[in-house]
């Protein structure tokens, strides 16, 4: 479940479901050893992303290593500038070691 209470299936779970559906529709069993998860290779991950079944997560480290980093960085600053113009940022406040992030004095 996600934070919004929505059920979430991960790629390894979808892979098992795909193997079962393939076996039901064709009778061909591509997953002979049921004691282990079916293998996931780079090609199947790329195919799932292209089909829209999996959404790739881009970390900052991956983005920095990409050839698109300058474009990403420019876009990030554009977004932050827009937020600043809308006065979405307040003055920095000292960190309070209280009961949680919503606790105020």
Report yes or no on 5 lying in a domain: no
Own/partner pairs for 11-14, CB < 8 Å, 24+ apart?
A: 11/40, 11/45, 11/48, 11/53, 11/54, 12/37, 12/40, 14/48, 14/53, 14/54
Report yes or no on 59 lying in a domain: yes
Convert the pLDDT of each residue in 47-80 to its tens digit: 877 877 777 777 888 889 889 899 989 999 999 9
Domain around 38 = 11-85
**Total domain count, the chain:** 1
Report yes or no on 101 lying in a domain: no
Give ∠ CA 36-39-43 in degrees, rounded to 5: 170
Whole-model pTM? Answer: 0.37
């Amino acid at each position: 479940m996600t934070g919004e209470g929505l059920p979430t299936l991960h790629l390894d779970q979808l892979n098992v479901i795909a193997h079962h559906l393939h076996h039901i529709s064709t009778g061909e069993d591509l997953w002979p050893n049921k004691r282990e998860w079916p293998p996931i290779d780079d090609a199947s991950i790329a195919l799932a992303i292209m089909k829209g079944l999996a959404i790739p997560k881009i970390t900052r480290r991956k983005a920095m290593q990409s050839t698109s980093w300058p474009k990403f960085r420019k876009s990030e600053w554009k977004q932050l500038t827009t937020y600043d113009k809308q006065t979405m940022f307040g003055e920095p406040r000292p960190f309070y070691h209280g009961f949680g992030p919503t606790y105020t004095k």
